[in-house]
Structure 1
């Protein structure tokens, strides 16, 4: 199950078989490049082994330490036989504090600890340990319930059988807004969703534009076209009497298209925002690999024009509405949830950014040009006629409650371009828009598996008393470690984490007494 190298094994209780200076980050990387085997095993006290590992090399930790007073392994350095559970928690906390040092800023930590009873009272050791870790620089992201349908039957008749254990997902507190997590690897497939609408069916659909700063506008689809690239376009009659041609996103695709970028310095491909960190030392800004420009010539009509009386009726009814919310012109009431929206006024089209834009990269780009122009944020606000708005475009903390970074709206982008005189590098990426059908539908990649995992115990008596089920380890690694990354199990036991990591094309470090 484990590829154990004698020359790579550390016997800390006897003689160190590797010199400590070997474990600089550079030396460790060179070792890994030269190896075909992906699992390193260290034999010794977990805290001492962790201390010789370099800083920030681990992508994901998956572990289950010995439970308190569960089993005596007959080793004086073991954890789990402390006199009190408070001592047990403190000892584990010391290990996990050192573990935090070797974990990357984007790393994840999955921890499984079981419950114990003392004098017929349940001890909340997992929760007490989790709380202690929170006080020591860890952020608790999830408490996952591992339900064991084949749990050992209990002989107790005065309480219910315990059939679950918690698995905590931690990240470094300073990284709780920016850590690696791949939910798509764990999504549960749903029945294939296909929107049976034909493009001509959206004739007469209500259209909403939420990309205007001063006000929100609404319109109606008055004609449907197709261009030579096969894209669907519609003519929209807006409430201010203007007409525009807008691209319509495929009904069965995500609302925003994700594109790759290429690093100008090293030529590497950046597939998502997480990969930007790997190019932080590269010169220049990455180039977005955008598709060819949409053709608006020689359009094929695939619908008749919407009758004028229907257009007039739409706007006439809109003006009668007493609704004073942000979609003031719409005749229907606005429900908050997707279900309420659908039941109250059905489907509609909304104008959104065409591409998923990385706010932190745009902020860096705008900072560069602002410094080059030597202009203050206050001066930018004054030129745009805003107050306390422009500053949000130069911050890198978007995406969470209480975070203030944002991307300029398309109109603001071009106004800002006149002020800062930046190049055309990100113009299309930031400002191109398309219409997205708003309706109730499942996620195209499947549903979120939730925080209750039903996984059977996987006995392996000849290897270890308490073996991690491979399915459980697989979920943790796929969610928390990028392909080719490094997984650590500081309480390796039978080595299940190393075995699964190998199968998933991840490197691993295992530590065991």
Structure 2
């Protein structure tokens, strides 16, 4: 079967990936099924394994194929959540599973995400009731061991998390996005995802150090207000050290360079230049937003916009081996990229295709 781009294939991701040529994909943005969260009603699905280790093993096998099909400068942006070991009391099973989940002891798992909670009994020699299992990091370390470069953990902070009735820990309101790369050097468009710097921040950091204002010290301290502290480096002969006496070096700028002559933020008249930008930070606060046609959890479009902007050139190909409701495909096309995806459940493929036609029209 010839694989075409801008198409979602109703196929097991590992089998489908084997049909792709090596070094043919620019970027992969995806979120695999979370372990034990729900039964998607199809055979060969990932997420119903009896142990976390089995789940991680299956995930690694899929992403070994993703590694192969990525170009040498390709990246993987992996969204994945965690789960807790519970007592298993009152556990439920999907009516189509024939109790195949009830194979273990009284240990179960529970999640705070998703519309339908499914508690999975599993054999456990190392997880105690109420333990946080650590699935995201288990996967991240396993992928690193298999050859991927583990470049960064990004926190998806959710202002509107699912409510929890727990009384002995905080309500969980974040998930992880792991940035992994195939090579030590890879495509990453840093400028495309920079964020505006507030004018107040710029005004503070461009002050002369001796005149720089800061927060008031503890009562009784007599050596003035607390100054903003910057990383230091050894001054170069070309640096303008005016205003930096006593600092031991030149403050490092928000865009990674020094505030040499303050030219990064002031025009020739000494006026503040608006619109200065800084590197995007590693905590992304994005509201959850599902897709009403899908009866399962989907990540919001906004969450992966910067993943695709930074990780894939225009007209490149974004891969999603777990396409679900088609969010990756939709955002890729909106950003002038191509997509290619696999989805095991034919119902979800239909949902994705209808969504693309509705939102993109002829461009789908």
**Which bracket does the TM-score occupy, shorter chain normalised?**
0.5 to 0.7
Deviation at 1:146, TM superposition (A): 0.1
> Matches of 2:329 and 2:50 in 1, distance apart?
31
> Matches of 1:349 and 1:165 in 2, distance apart?
38
* Structure 1 residues 440-451: aligned runs within 5 Å: 445-451=276-282
* Alignment-derived partner of residue 16 in structure 2: 49
> Matches of 1:149 and 1:136 in 2, distance apart?
34
Distance 1:347 1:138, change over 3 A: closer
> Matches of 1:347 and 1:96 in 2, distance apart?
44
Distance 1:452 1:74, change over 3 A: same
Is residue 60–residue 103 contact of structure 1 (8 Å, CA) maintained in 2?
yes
* Alignment-derived partner of residue 493 in structure 1: 324
Which sections of structure 2, spanning at least 5 residues, go unmatched?
86-128, 203-233, 254-258, 345-364
> Matches of 1:452 and 1:42 in 2, distance apart?
33
For residues 88-123 of structure 1, the C-alpha deviation after alignment (integer angstroms, 9 at most, x for no partner) is 000000000111000011111000110000121101
- Normalised TM-score (structure 1): 0.46
Question: Quick check: 1:465 aligned with 2:310?
Answer: no
Instruction: Choose 1 or 2 for highest CA Rg.
Output: 1
Distance 1:50 1:191, change over 3 A: same
Higher helix share: 1
* Alignment-derived partner of residue 206 in structure 1: none
For residues 392-416 of structure 1, the C-alpha deviation after alignment (integer angstroms, 9 at most, x for no partner) is xxxxxxxxxxxxxxxxxxxxxxxxx
Deviation at 1:335, TM superposition (A): 2.2
Is residue 235–residue 249 contact of structure 2 (8 Å, CA) maintained in 1?
no
For residue 197 of structure 2, the aligned residue among 190, 197, 202 is 190
Distance 1:84 1:349, change over 3 A: closer
Higher strand share: 1
Is residue 473–residue 497 contact of structure 1 (8 Å, CA) maintained in 2?
yes
- Normalised TM-score (structure 2): 0.64
Deviation at 1:349, TM superposition (A): 9.9
* Alignment-derived partner of residue 480 in structure 1: 311
* Alignment-derived partner of residue 336 in structure 1: 249
Question: Quick check: 1:80 aligned with 2:47?
Answer: yes
Is residue 184–residue 445 contact of structure 1 (8 Å, CA) maintained in 2?
no
Deviation at 1:461, TM superposition (A): 3.8
> Matches of 1:66 and 1:157 in 2, distance apart?
28
* Structure 1 residues 2-81: aligned runs within 5 Å: 18=1, 22=2, 39-81=6-48
Which sections of structure 1, spanning at least 5 residues, go unmatched?
1-17, 29-37, 196-323, 341-345, 351-436
> Matches of 2:165 and 2:262 in 1, distance apart?
60
> Matches of 2:169 and 2:16 in 1, distance apart?
41
> Matches of 1:50 and 1:508 in 2, distance apart?
14
**SS across alignment from 1:89:** helix
**SS across alignment from 1:121:** coil
Question: Quick check: 1:168 aligned with 2:178?
Answer: yes
- For the aligned residues, what is the CA RMSD? 3.2
Is residue 199–residue 274 contact of structure 2 (8 Å, CA) maintained in 1?
no
For residues 146-200 of structure 1, the C-alpha deviation after alignment (integer angstroms, 9 at most, x for no partner) is 001111100111221110001000001xx22x2111122211123579x9xxxxx
> Matches of 2:261 and 2:163 in 1, distance apart?
54
> Matches of 1:473 and 1:327 in 2, distance apart?
43
Number of matched pairs: 257
* Alignment-derived partner of residue 454 in structure 1: 285
